[in-house]
Amino acid sequence: MPLTPQRGWDKNLTSLRIRAYVDRVNRFHRWYCRSDAWKKRLDYELLPWALKDVDLGQEVLEVGPGPGLTTDSLRLRFSGLTSIEIDRRLAESLGRRMRGTNVAVLNGDATSMPFQRGVFSGAVSFTMLHHVPSAALQDRLIREVCRVLKPGGVFVGTDSVWSRTFQLMHLFDTMVVVDPLTFSARLEGAGFTDIKIRSVERAFCFRARKN
């Protein structure tokens, strides 16, 4: 079963930090993240690449599902999936769509998650870290993921590397590109070990285990 937030958390409470950047996603980007082309890339390239030969257990946290194309695929792999999404409209839409399934969808800030320490067996994040508006907040998010994982829990994901096309897609949008060459040290600093990063032309994938 998907997990629920610890007692005392108001799911409707949205911080000023969230309001400052949650709407900074341009129209093209919103369209593309719902498109068949992106779904095919997720299902046939990114998810199999990142999840190959990795055991995430059965209580998995998804960070930043957006409109939920990743959620559609991930929920078939695990007994319980909890998805935390910062955009209220996307979270509400996905929550309605996932009602009655094995997925719990929460509107919340992944840099300050409403979960107790050590409750998830695994965590995933697919092509969303570059939407977090600073390296400091990205690091805070990574530390939060580590906090809510059980000892030995695995964090896997993907993100894009810089290109002119990628830059054009993010005009008037938040884009803080993660450098795969330095990401291993950042994961280690957050409390992860057994870190593996693989890069290709347009993207990189990572996996790391909670120390």
The domain covering 16-210 belongs, at the CATH homologous superfamily level, to Vaccinia Virus protein VP39 (3.40.50.150)
Count of Cβ atoms closer than 10 Å to residue 116 Cβ: 12
Instruction: For residue 159, give the 3-state DSSP assignment.
Output: strand
Query: Based on the number of CB atoms within 10 Å of its own CB, is 172 exposed (0-12), middle (13-18) or buried (19 or more)?
Result: exposed
Q: What is the pLDDT of residues 126-138, one digit of tens each?
A: 998 988 999 999 9
Mean pLDDT, residues 99-117: 97
Q: Does pLDDT of 141 surpass 70? A: yes
Torsion sign, CA atoms 144, 149, 124, 152: positive
- Euclidean distance between CA atoms 200 and 198, whole angstroms: 7
| Domain limits, the chain | 16-210
40-49, 126-135, 143-152 — most confident range: 143-152
Q: What is the pLDDT of residues 46-66, one digit of tens each?
A: 899 999 999 999 999 999 999
pTM, 2 dp = 0.84
Count of Cβ atoms closer than 10 Å to residue 133 Cβ: 16
